[in-house]
Structure 1
């Protein structure tokens, strides 16, 4: 049995080290970041360890060698010079009005004005006050100053629904960080983190000398847990997880990968697990949807509806590099913010064409996002969703009974919100795909074979279901296509039972009209 403490909700390097919590050593990358750059920006989704990285850098620049015992940094650094550090955590506030923003910025600045005996004059602009703090810190210590700004974009995200408020907040934040460029001679290192880069044409226009390391291969694993780190550091934890879930080690590892792996933050970067979900799972010995506990922002769901995008559209997106850096303060394209927020990740990259392929990283995100869609469109029908969830496990997972499950699907479709129903085969495929994801099925759409593409494939531990969907035709026509193109041959070596399922949708019924199944 393992006896390790996981840093759930603990984001400070000092507290993790002193509290003897699990720490995945990122100090070699932190050392490289701090000594090869001067102005840097890193974008990562929430709960990926940005704040931990910031406090690691803070401890390093404060010369706190005692915290780095046994870590890579201990051997890499030989001088341990102490620098004055200005650490501003913008996420401390909630920014639904200007009063909140002013209160948060004032509170942070007063702390450092007091520390360096700078006269507090609230009437002065924030840029002047930050400039005075930097110059006072340099003058009093004789050392170059380090400025760390964590979650700089929190005010812009909180005000996303109010464009006028967001514009005012953006102008205030742009003014706030403006001294960082002009004060270069007093600065040793400047580091900003956030979820999104609010375009070089807006807030970053005042700091156009910053290096965006977010999609650089060498820093791809600076936050999160890499595949190598999981296998080398957590073997005993995975064995304990397996034992508590009646699994083998390999089964537990595969389940972790299926649920929480799959993030890629650069074209050829490392394979990353969501650290928050991973630690929650190892701590509780339960595979849950931890990262999604706070839900999906409503404005994203509304934007997807406005752009007529569904779950199928989001699982296979082609994008060029410039699409990642569009101005997210005036969102017309949901793809960049979906990527930056962690709902989509890089699934493939062509170095010659510089074209990225984006998709959902793992089943936790797929299922959570489909749940968010349904919760938004049909908030009063969550009981129906739960009934379908129970039917899926009872009929398919435990008894391999697709006929019984489809009858439950028919009942669910009758209650499905009409706002999601358009009369065409593609849309019914998207709805079925969303439903299957929502109940936790391992489902893949548009699966390529030697003789075409299968509409959908559902995998359970014991069976594989090949689904061909038709609209205003017949289930027999769908089955004929499965047999004619011999889709089952693609899974002949798998070892699981292979079921063929033909489904026909009816425009009049807005539902499954008929189906047929065979081995």
Structure 2
């Protein structure tokens, strides 16, 4: 059985140590037919570094003797291109560049990264390039690029430049409110970052024949345009939609390789992984793919213990997405966030690059950035632009938890009290303790907040509290043949022993001035509950025994009425 390569981004190690590998080498053939200077981004933890490592091993002239061992049974091993094992590969990663201690330290750290990778490059290809005694420590990043170019040009060697995490430190600058430093390092004529990419462009007229750049956002593309305008952005290209990430067929292939005991279990795992980790589309015409690192996290745990992991969300992914999402939150577009969190989707005109001067002033940028960061994905093309939606349950949970962080500060909510309340729902079928927590939040609202209060706000409160507890699988406003269920709480397979009750919940809100409509709203809500309980989706996903159906009506800021409707 293949080993699970969780956390491994070294292609050579992965292939030599019998790790599972989903063959993505056919995309080499596609990329070679495209423009030679390529830009391609995907969200955090999406397999970008492994793909770069695969390219490095394929094109490295020093790996020619290992080609059959590394690629022989893969697509590209059986269908090699003319450019295989034909380059000196210079790989630079900007992960870990110090962006937190001022511009001068940033410049030094950036130069160090470039010089270190150049030293490795020169040593690796010493037999081809000859002895080089130049003291690299004296050179800026721009000068290092010029030096490598001249060295390779004199020996008539072509170079493939791979740049990983090109925007890592820039995202940190913007997240930390250091836009002035960002502007300085990209200042025309003087900024060292512009100078580096300007040198890279110059070198493409000589020995730098191919460039591949990757990161998580197109945040510098516009600001680099004049100095690196040869790059082609293939992020949304339909032929490359599944270049990173796993399709449903690839998930099924993985199930075969890890030797699961039966077909039914394999199918259930595939479906659950799609629900938790999938849903990503980078072109509206293509099928959705799963986050590959999240899939490997699940399989790594499942194959050891033969059960679902207690936490379906990898804490490393949650931390990474939480940090990078702060970049988007700097836009402070509360209206868009409320729309996304209450409906699960939004519409925008996708932009493919940002400019620091207009980044926060143009509405489309916020939603587009959420898309590139993996917090939204493409649903369809609508009349007013691209419809974006939350891709999967993991990302939905990150939204809920960030929302909880905000309301817990405002209303001093203790998470332990939430856990106790939800435990009463799970084990005893009693929703009243959770109602009391919501009632406490409502009583703290100002009259101004109440003026804006509606059913969506009430739903967000319940969603957030339930999600933070993280013991139910929550569906919100799922469409079925009988309408929309406000909240459906499904038992998690790994927590079935401590979850006796499942729930469908219908929520209503009445302003204090409309209190006289209470009975009418109650009658309507009970009819909807009855209809939802009979729907195909509820019948298939929830067990009849232990199913609780409840109507919750909030009136103003003082009264919450609950009506149980159980068979």
Q: Give the structure-2-normalised TM-score.
A: 0.78
Q: Which residue of 1 aligns with 2:180?
A: 164
> Is the contact made by 1:198 and 1:204 (CA closer than 8 Å) also made in structure 2?
no
- Tell me, which stretches of 5 or more residues in structure 1 are unaligned? none
1:25-174 correspondence runs (5 A): 25-63=23-61, 64=63, 65=67, 66-77=69-80, 79=82, 80-96=84-100, 97-98=102-103, 99-112=105-118, 115=123, 117=132, 119-120=134-135, 125-140=140-155, 142-160=156-174, 161-170=177-186, 171-174=191-194
Q: Does residue 342 in structure 1 map to residue 374 in structure 2?
A: yes
Distance (whole Å) between structure 2 residues aligned to residue 316 and residue 490 of structure 1: 25
Q: Secondary structure at the match of 2:536?
A: coil
Q: Secondary structure at the match of 1:176?
A: helix
Distance (whole Å) between structure 2 residues aligned to residue 268 and residue 314 of structure 1: 23
Q: Residues 389 and 224 (structure 1 numbering): CA distance in 2 closer, same or farther, change over 3 Å? A: farther
Match of 1:327 among 355, 378, 394: 355
Q: Deviation at 1:499?
A: 5.7
1:482-497 correspondence runs (5 A): 482-483=525-526, 488=531, 491-494=534-537, 495=539, 496=542, 497=544
> Is the contact made by 2:408 and 2:414 (CA closer than 8 Å) also made in structure 1?
no
Distance (whole Å) between structure 1 residues aligned to residue 445 and residue 321 of structure 2: 21
Q: Which residue of 2 aligns with 1:253?
A: 270
After superposition, the C-alpha distances for 1:184-216 in whole angstroms (9 at most, x for unaligned) are: 232221110010012543024322221111111
Range with greater deviation from structure 2 (106-115 or 376-385): 376-385
Q: Residues 48 and 175 (structure 1 numbering): CA distance in 2 closer, same or farther, change over 3 Å? A: same
Q: Residues 278 and 450 (structure 1 numbering): CA distance in 2 closer, same or farther, change over 3 Å? A: closer
Q: Deviation at 1:100?
A: 3.7
> Is the contact made by 2:27 and 2:240 (CA closer than 8 Å) also made in structure 1?
yes
Q: Deviation at 1:61?
A: 1.1
Q: Deviation at 1:436?
A: 3.4
Q: Which residue of 1 aligns with 2:313?
A: 289
Q: Secondary structure at the match of 2:260?
A: helix
Range with greater deviation from structure 2 (293-302 or 46-55): 293-302
Q: Give the structure-1-normalised TM-score.
A: 0.85
Q: Deviation at 1:31?
A: 3.2
Range with greater deviation from structure 2 (18-27 or 308-317): 308-317
Distance (whole Å) between structure 1 residues aligned to residue 443 and residue 208 of structure 2: 56
Q: Which residue of 1 aligns with 2:560?
A: 513
Distance (whole Å) between structure 2 residues aligned to residue 489 and residue 429 of structure 1: 17
Q: Secondary structure at the match of 2:91?
A: strand
Q: Deviation at 1:358?
A: 1.1
Distance (whole Å) between structure 1 residues aligned to residue 551 and residue 290 of structure 2: 36
Q: Does residue 201 in structure 1 map to residue 216 in structure 2?
A: no
> Is the contact made by 2:90 and 2:117 (CA closer than 8 Å) also made in structure 1?
no
1:217-366 correspondence runs (5 A): 217-235=238-256, 237=258, 239=260, 248-285=265-302, 286=309, 287-290=311-314, 291-294=317-320, 296-297=322-323, 298-301=326-329, 303-304=331-332, 306-307=334-335, 309-310=337-338, 311-313=340-342, 315-322=344-351, 324-327=352-355, 330-332=359-361, 333-349=365-381, 355-366=385-396
Distance (whole Å) between structure 1 residues aligned to residue 384 and residue 208 of structure 2: 35
Q: Secondary structure at the match of 1:422?
A: helix
Q: Which residue of 1 aligns with 2:495?
A: none
> Is the contact made by 1:349 and 1:356 (CA closer than 8 Å) also made in structure 2?
yes
Match of 1:215 among 233, 236, 247: 236
> How many residue pairs are counted as aligned between the two chains?
502
Q: Deviation at 1:154?
A: 0.8
CA-based RMSD: 3.4
Q: Deviation at 1:355?
A: 3.3
> Is the contact made by 1:388 and 1:412 (CA closer than 8 Å) also made in structure 2?
no
Q: Residues 389 and 270 (structure 1 numbering): CA distance in 2 closer, same or farther, change over 3 Å? A: farther
- Tell me, which stretches of 5 or more residues in structure 2 are unaligned? 124-128, 303-308, 492-500
Distance (whole Å) between structure 1 residues aligned to residue 168 and residue 413 of structure 2: 34
Range with greater deviation from structure 2 (86-95 or 497-506): 497-506
Q: Residues 306 and 57 (structure 1 numbering): CA distance in 2 closer, same or farther, change over 3 Å? A: same
Q: Residues 490 and 37 (structure 1 numbering): CA distance in 2 closer, same or farther, change over 3 Å? A: farther
Q: Which residue of 2 aligns with 1:468?
A: 507
Distance (whole Å) between structure 2 residues aligned to residue 383 and residue 276 of structure 1: 33
Distance (whole Å) between structure 1 residues aligned to residue 30 and residue 437 of structure 2: 58
Q: Deviation at 1:261?
A: 1.3
Range with greater deviation from structure 2 (54-63 or 423-432): 423-432
